[in-house]
Structure 1
């Protein structure tokens, strides 16, 4: 297949590039490096079936090559520090960027694959969160530039499917980690492991009782690949349902990386969700998919990559 991936220099995008090239497909990567990393593009730059286009997909996708089989829209800042630094750009890539990707897919008769997020559930009143839950989102809060961008992206994706027949897929990605995450990503696993490796106290928001569920990147990529092969157009959760309080996560990080870690408490960010856990029953039934990599195993897989970067 010929697959165009926006956000190809990002964390998830670069792993998709690697997967598809290894499977023999041709990949066109598109990124403007607002949150992606040049080093991720450099991994594939010499590959004979990889082409890179540096562009802001919010203003258009300048692809003029052969017919595409898939347009996969993974471009967007995805961590709170990045999308709060670039709120307008985040809204733009969720709105105009998504529409530009849909138009390109429509023109080529290609499938369109949207990377959405568990953030569409906001600070949920339903636990765990199934795809049928509509969410509890502050539409004007500090996180709204990301939350509402993704909610709109889902809406326009479904509109193109219903009104124009585009063959769409939507995934809602829950917290995912692995190699190639930016050190300044700002999400809890990145913060904790880099602080541990530097011998610094772990910064815990509030009392550390809020929960998250952590998925290793290989499990996510496998779920994405399986959904491409199934005719299903509504959102599908992809995440690991094993739920950890932040103080429990700190103990796992201590076990993997360094002993006798200290913790320091800082105030909770605005609109920070108290609980986050995916209901993945739909993915189990539809895709025969469930995450295989535990948090302990995933951190052990991640450890050598991070230690090499220190």
Structure 2
């Protein structure tokens, strides 16, 4: 049994297809199939049902895949620990959800370049579900997401709580109103991000707690697009305070909601068993310091 065979098996399990697994593993499909067949012969068990183009783990395969994932995880940890020399370059891969990434990652990377010159940062912006799985599978060292989140595989460390604020266009009829209650928004047209966004889910829960369902007029993939529509007066939006930009004042007015102000809690997630390199530990301290500065602003 070879480690590369284990990697091939995991690639098939993740892609559900021998051809795509071969592409992901940078090997020809016949070679991958041959190695998996050799492993099955050695184990005396089929690991996958071949259902046309689909590959579905057998019962034995499901057990083996979980063990293989643990083995490769520990091998990766051992290699990372051995290579973790403070005199050499270190690369850290971090992720963040779309409502955090553009407002936090640029400042972090800039600080890191000055204060941790031996650390190189690779970043990924994606929704929380994808980031959680990437951290759990060891593809990311850490990720910035919004709670609540439960996953026994992960360390979840809250680091920042910020209010959510109402955004309206300067020419919107509500722009002259200084304070709003949640019920004041029941008849308004909302501009939101897609259903996969944790911010959208939180806004829907907030409105539901005040006995109304938000009337959504526009859905956007990015906060920048959402702000443009708000600036045009096409609806209102609820955004995290981090999303406010000095340039927004020409087109957008931000207001705080009266009563119970909605907030969101930002957390950094890491794998509980993944070896944390010196570079990752130093970067985490820098990350915490950066969020403290946001809180002081």
If the TM-score is normalised by the length of the shorter chain, which range does it land in?
Answer: under 0.3
TM norm structure 1: 0.24
In proportion to residue count, which structure has more helix?
A: 2
More strand by share: 2
